[in-house]
Amino acid sequence: MLIVADENIPLLESFFGDIGDIRRVSGRTMTAADVQDADVLLVRSVTRVGPELLEGSRVRFVGTATIGTDHVDQAWLAERGIRFAAAPGCNANSVAEFVLSVLSVHAEVRALSDWTAMSVGIVGVGNVGGELARKLERLGFEVKLCDPPRAEAEGDEEQFVSLEEAMECDVVTLHTPLTRDGKHATFRMLDAARLDRLRADQLLINAGRGEVIDARALHERLGQANAPRVALDVWEREPRIDPELVERVWLATPHIGGYSLEGKVQGTEMVYRALSHYLGLPVRKKAGQFLPEPALSKVSFTSAADEQDALRIALRACYDPRADDARLRAAMGGSADERAAAFDRLRRDYPVRRECSSLKVQLKGTSKSLQDSFRAIGFKLKI
């Protein structure tokens, strides 16, 4: 059996080496010739999967080791009887931690003594938005949830607010899929009119897909005096992103919200499980067995004078978005081709990033509420 796979999928050999021969190719530039003789195709989000890639091939199974599926023509695959599997939720915790870290930097820049004083509107309350909401609520934030498809399906209008109401919050964070059709299509959902209503004291985060915001309208809005602060992890036309937009946003990261090691390896694991089920093979491997000891495994705080400092230090010891922001800005020189290559390189060579659950936190003489906050984020506590 021949498995053609994006070379950026981690642990290919460990998970799939005993299932078939693996041909590693660049996900971004994969062509029909690369996959023609394959039985199985494994991708991440940068490969468009549909008739152009697969017509005439013998591929029977396609797996994407990602949450997002907007790069896959699922209707066409179903029509051809090609089995498809994604990795729902694989990196949801990683994105939630990314947003928490962005919030902590934002609160510090705004000199807020208590970050929970900010209200947060979550747009798209699925695996990512739901995980983020759970953490924020446990931390004591006021959270507003906007998810019209869920509100309709669950008949629970009370739990959810409108997009307009969510966009009144101090922080608005986007976690919807990219969809182009239907009543709840998200393509350019944040258009010029909606962006105009944002205030200068608000923070807008997009960690869903770039095209959910009208990038041209955002570019113009950010040139105005009362512009909101914006953190973008995802961009229109990746990897050929707009360098002027990078300059105008407050925080710019190269689509790495979900790039914790745990998130990436879980993506591989979920596709491995789906392929094993499809082939009738036993599932013997688990993501956890391949995760190394983290470089930083313990941190200890004694009667922290400023308890929020302790939380901030631990959170940023695991992940600080300013490092990714600095790397992306530094990569924005040169021609459009050079910038696109640099964007992909930053993602390919991404440093190992571990989730908060990999860090044991020892707390001595600290308050119960600080302990609860550490737990809410996902740290392992030793008291």
Ligand X SMILES: O=C(O)[C@H](O)[C@H](O)COP(=O)(O)O
Catalytic residue annotation: 209, 238, 255
Alpha-carbon distances, residue 236 vs 187, 206, 217, 242 (angstroms): 11, 11, 12, 8
Q: Which is nearer to ligand X, 209 or 312 (CB)?
A: 209
Binders of ligand X among residues 217 to 236 (CB under 6 A) are none
φ, ψ of residue 251 in degrees (nearest 5): -130, 130
**147, interface contact from ligand NAD, ligand X, none, CB < 5-8 Å by kind:** ligand NAD
Binding-site size, ligand X (CB under 6 A) = 11
Burial 271-296 (b: 16+ CB within 10 A, else e): bbbbbbeeeeeeeebebeeebeebee
**114 belongs to an annotated ligand binding site:** no
**129, interface contact from ligand X, ligand NAD, none, CB < 5-8 Å by kind:** ligand NAD
The CA distance from 299 to 211, in Å, is 39
Tell whether residue 121 is a contact of ligand NAD (CB under 6 A). Answer: no
Outline where 110-203 has alpha helix (H).
127-139, 148-154, 163-166, 192-196
Pick the binder of ligand NAD from 126, 239, 254, 378 (CB under 6 A): 126
Q: Say whether 273 sits in a helix, a strand or coil.
A: helix
Q: Which is nearer to ligand NAD, 88 or 140 (CB)?
A: 88
The CA distance from 109 to 241, in Å, is 26
**149, interface contact from ligand X, ligand NAD, none, CB < 5-8 Å by kind:** ligand NAD
Across-strand partners of 226? none
Tell whether residue 8 is a contact of ligand NAD (CB under 6 A). Answer: no
**233 belongs to an annotated ligand binding site:** yes
We find the least distance from the C-beta atom of residue 281 to ligand NAD, in angstroms, to be 27
Pick the binder of ligand NAD from 27, 63, 121, 208 (CB under 6 A): 208
Pick the binder of ligand X from 57, 66, 101, 104 (CB under 6 A): 66
**77, interface contact from ligand NAD, ligand X, none, CB < 5-8 Å by kind:** none
**HSE of 198 in the Cβ direction (CA atoms, 13 Å)?**
29
Neighbours of 56 (CB within 10 A): 10
Pick the binder of ligand NAD from 10, 140, 148, 243 (CB under 6 A): 148
DSSP conformational letter for 303:
S
The CA distance from 52 to 50, in Å, is 6
Binding residues for ligand X, per CB under 6 A?
Answer: 8, 44-46, 66-68, 91, 255, 258-259
Binding residues for ligand NAD, per CB under 6 A?
Answer: 67-68, 88-89, 91-92, 95, 123-129, 146-150, 175-178, 184, 186, 189, 207-209, 233-234, 255, 257-258
